[in-house]
């Protein structure tokens, strides 16, 4: 069957990555081997602490669903905060601008798990990508659908075309054993009425959502609607053009936490990181990228991942600026 414009298809890498950006990916894959300092894996989730910082994968998905990559680009890893993009997209699709009454869209300038702004800003988190904001978004998704984590997983499955994308209950349980800070954030916001589900239920949904394992190929494909102005892999509309712009904008300004300015300076693309070492980035109208390497900097962003995206936009001249 011929490929329709938005049919998801997978292109397996040969010796050299195929596609429009194959040569660039191959070059980055070669250069990354010489990278020295790669940071340390997240250790507050015990099950992630043993990841090898030398692992590296990078995938590009073009808007027609063609995907290719280098290194460990088909290896599933813990998506963590990258799922916050998909949860936000689902809530925007379901209730539109209503969510912006509960969560802001300004950079916080604070670490992703910070509590400090919440009290003097009356329980309304700065943006949907810090943990407090993501908890509000997952709370809304839970209320709207009854199964927030399942809806995020299903969106990832459908957009990636990979039904193996799934929760990793051991990772969710591992995070739950160290979940006091997220519990504190949720209870504090509940005291302002900005969390409406029982906090234990919300935390279970949030930790499940964060535990989803997917590969660079899966995530680059799954984020494709952000490069296609809101159009899903099957051609239907998930987000309006305006909503897609909003998600990309908040990724650019808030997607890498208190390093968002540095990320914009170096990479120049909307991006969203996770403490599993993944980063998804969007070149609107052109492609989506996902890079994975488990070593993190002090802000919780993958060292080799930011470096690789920096190289990609430098070598191709592509950015949103
Ligand atoms: O809430 C947490 O701590 C994690 N499950 C997700 C944090 C995360 O990935 C932050 N990103 N860099």
- CA 275–ligand 1 middle distance (angstroms): 5
Tens of pLDDT along the chain (321 residues) come to 333 334 455 555 544 567 789 999 999 999 999 999 899 999 888 889 999 999 999 999 999 999 999 999 999 999 999 999 999 999 999 999 999 999 999 998 888 888 898 988 999 999 999 999 999 999 999 999 999 999 999 999 999 999 999 999 999 999 999 999 999 999 999 999 999 999 999 999 999 999 999 999 999 999 999 999 999 999 999 999 999 999 999 999 999 989 999 999 999 999 999 999 999 999 999 999 999 999 999 999 999 999 999 999 999 999 999
Ligand 1 pocket test, pick from 79, 110, 112 with the greatest ligand atom count within 8 Å of Cβ, gives 112
Closest alpha carbon to 255 in 113, 110, 129: 129
CA–CA gap between residue 187 and residue 201 (Å, rounded)? 12
CA–CA gap between residue 61 and residue 9 (Å, rounded)? 10
C-alpha angle 210/235/251, rounded to 5°? 40
Closest alpha carbon to 88 in 259, 248, 299: 248
Domains identified in the chain, total number: 1
Residue 321 placed within a domain: no
End-to-end CA distance of the chain: 38
What residue owns the CA closest to ligand 1's atom 12? 274
Residue 4 placed within a domain: no
Work out which ligand 1 atom sits closest to the CA atom of 257. Answer: 12
Range of the domain at 183: 11-316
Residue 6 placed within a domain: no
Residue 1 placed within a domain: no
- CA 126–ligand 1 middle distance (angstroms): 16
CA–CA gap between residue 145 and residue 149 (Å, rounded)? 10
What residue owns the CA closest to ligand 1's atom 11? 274
- CA 104–ligand 1 middle distance (angstroms): 18
Work out which ligand 1 atom sits closest to the CA atom of 210. Answer: 5
Write the DSSP string, 179-237.
-HHHHHHHHHHHHTT---S-HHHHHHHHHHHHH-EE-HHHHHHHTHHHHTTTB-TTS-B
Work out which ligand 1 atom sits closest to the CA atom of 299. Answer: 12
pTM for this prediction? 0.95
Q: Which residues line ligand 1 (CB under 6 A)?
A: 80-81, 112-113, 131, 175, 182, 210, 273-275, 300
Collect contacts of 14-19 with beta carbons under 8 A, ≥24 apart: 17/68, 17/69, 17/70, 18/68, 19/60, 19/62, 19/66, 19/68
Crossing angle of helices 83-95/241-254, nearest 10°? 150
Closest alpha carbon to 50 in 27, 77, 74: 77
Q: What are phi and psi of 18, to 5 degrees?
A: -85, -175
Residue 3 placed within a domain: no
- CA 28–ligand 1 middle distance (angstroms): 27
Work out which ligand 1 atom sits closest to the CA atom of 301. Answer: 12
CA–CA gap between residue 127 and residue 90 (Å, rounded)? 16
What residues form DSSP beta bridges with 282?
288
Q: What is the CATH number of the domain that holds 76?
A: 3.40.710.10
Work out which ligand 1 atom sits closest to the CA atom of 207. Answer: 5
Identify whether the C-beta of residue 278 lies closer than 8 Å to the C-beta of residue 288.
no
């Amino acid at each position: 069957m011929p490929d329709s414009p938005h049919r998801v298809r997978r292109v397996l890498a040969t010796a050299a990555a195929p596609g429009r950006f194959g040569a660039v990916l191959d070059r980055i894959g070669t250069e990354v081997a010489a990278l020295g300092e790669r940071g340390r894996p997240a250790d507050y989730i015990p099950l992630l602490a043993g990841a090898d910082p030398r692992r590296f994968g990078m995938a590009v998905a073009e808007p027609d669903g063609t995907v290719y990559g280098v290194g460990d680009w088909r290896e599933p890893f813990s998506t963590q905060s990258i799922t916050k993009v998909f949860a936000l997209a689902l809530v925007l699709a379901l209730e539109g601008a209503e969510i912006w009454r509960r969560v802001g869209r300004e950079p916080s300038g604070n670490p992703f798990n910070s509590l400090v702004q919440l009290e003097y800003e009356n329980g309304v988190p700065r943006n949907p990508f810090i943990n407090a904001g993501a908890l509000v978004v997952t709370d809304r998704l839970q209320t709207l659908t009854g199964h927030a984590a399942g809806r995020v997983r299903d969106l990832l499955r459908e957009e990636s075309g990979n039904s193996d994308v799934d929760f990793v209950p051991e990772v969710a349980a591992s995070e739950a054993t160290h979940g006091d800070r997220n519990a504190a954030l949720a209870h504090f916001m509940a005291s302002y009425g900005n969390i409406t589900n029982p906090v234990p239920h919300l935390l279970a949904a949030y930790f499940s959502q964060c535990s989803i394992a997917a590969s660079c190929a899966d995530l680059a494909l799954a984020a494709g609607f952000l490069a296609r102005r809101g159009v899903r892999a099957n051609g239907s509309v998930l987000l309006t053009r305006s909503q897609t712009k909003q998600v990309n904008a908040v990724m650019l300004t808030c997607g890498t936490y208190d390093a968002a300015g540095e990320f914009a300076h170096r990479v120049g693309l909307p991006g969203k990181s996770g403490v599993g070492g993944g980063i998804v980035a969007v070149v609107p109208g052109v492609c989506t990228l996902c890079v994975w390497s488990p070593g993190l900097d002090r802000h919780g962003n993958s060292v080799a991942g930011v470096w690789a995206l920096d190289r990609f936009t430098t070598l191709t001249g592509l950015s949103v600026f």
